Amino acid sequence: MRHQEGRLSAVPNADPELALKAPKAEFGIHLRKYRKVARKRQRDLAAMLGWSVSKISMVERGERPADEAFARAADGALDAAGELFARWRETIEHSTRWPVWLARLAEIEQQADTLRLWQPLIVPGMLQTPEYARAIFCGKPATIPEEVEQNVAARMERQRVLYRDNGPTVWVILDEVVLGRPIGSETVMAEQMAYLAAMDEHPRINVRVLPHSSWLTTGLQGAFVLASGPGMPDMAYLESITLSQVTADAERIREIKSRYEMLHNEALPRRASLQLIGEMSEKWTN
């Protein structure tokens, strides 16, 4: 059923490189492009601005933020006629949609070649439909509609990493309770189940279900994401109701990996998982 891949690649993306980046990295991408158009090397721009080459390099890689003074100076040095500075203002506005931890998580997702997700409560954000995500965000107390839509947009933007040709391989384990928990409406749930099944048909996305019959308590402490890839330490994102954090602590990573292996060993195989997801899709549809 590889025809489902078309559903992924059909997502609009005017500039693939920019659409895949968290706000911190956006200006760096713009800076590099304008520098190349101006036929300047990093050392040339560094000399013109009075910065070190390493500082220019860090900004372009998204490892260091650029302030307004730098953005204005770089715009003038590269004869960008205000366009580069306008891109900087856009990234500042964009960043208001991203909490610090979420921006960091998004950056990790861009670097990783393998993501391993465990979720005992809801469908992971990387695999949520817009309506399912909207229902989740509406459940936060005192949330206004504008904030809900900003959060939904940010979540959908994070998912774009899955559409990339060299995107990460994603292994997802869901507790069976996730499939039956009402979120939004019956229609929302039916569409979400159908989307899970479709996503599993993608060659780099693997969805498994931990059945009630496993009696396993290993993952009840909360959801997590394990990320690994070349040029980066193994990282983990830990989620709870009041606190979300990213860690590279070696001891904690080992513990989380052990938990994931236990969950993976108890999860249903691919065909059985898809069958269960399909049954729940029919249930919600009916």
Q: Looking at 104-178, which runs of residues are DSSP E strands?
A: 114-119, 169-175
Considering the domain boundaries, does residue 164 fall inside one?
yes
Q: Indicate whether 126 and 224 sit together in one domain.
A: yes
pLDDT higher for 22 or 219? Answer: 219
Average pLDDT, the chain: 84
Q: Determine, yes or no, domain membership for 58.
A: yes
Residue 48 sits in the same domain as residue 67: yes
Residue 228's CATH number: 3.30.870
Q: Which of 95, 128, 157 is the last residue of a domain?
A: 95
Top pLDDT among 187 and 97 is at 187
CATH of the domain at 71: 1.10.260.40
Name the residue range of residue 65's domain.
23-95
- The pLDDT of residue 12 is 30
The model's pLDDT over 113-158, given as tens digits with 9 standing for 90+, comes to: 999 999 999 999 999 999 999 999 998 888 888 888 988 888 888 8
Amino acid of residue 19: A
Does the predicted TM-score (pTM) go above 0.95? no
- Domain finish residue from 95, 128, 143: 95
Give per-residue pLDDT as tens, 229-241: 887 889 998 887 6
Which of 59, 80, 95 terminates a domain? The answer is: 95
Residue 237 lies in a domain: yes
Read off the pLDDT of residues 9-63 as tens digits, 9 standing for 90 and up: 322 333 434 433 455 567 888 898 999 999 999 999 999 999 999 889 888 876 6
DSSP-assigned states of every residue in 13-49: -SSHHHHTS-HHHHHHHHHHHHHHHTT--HHHHHHHH
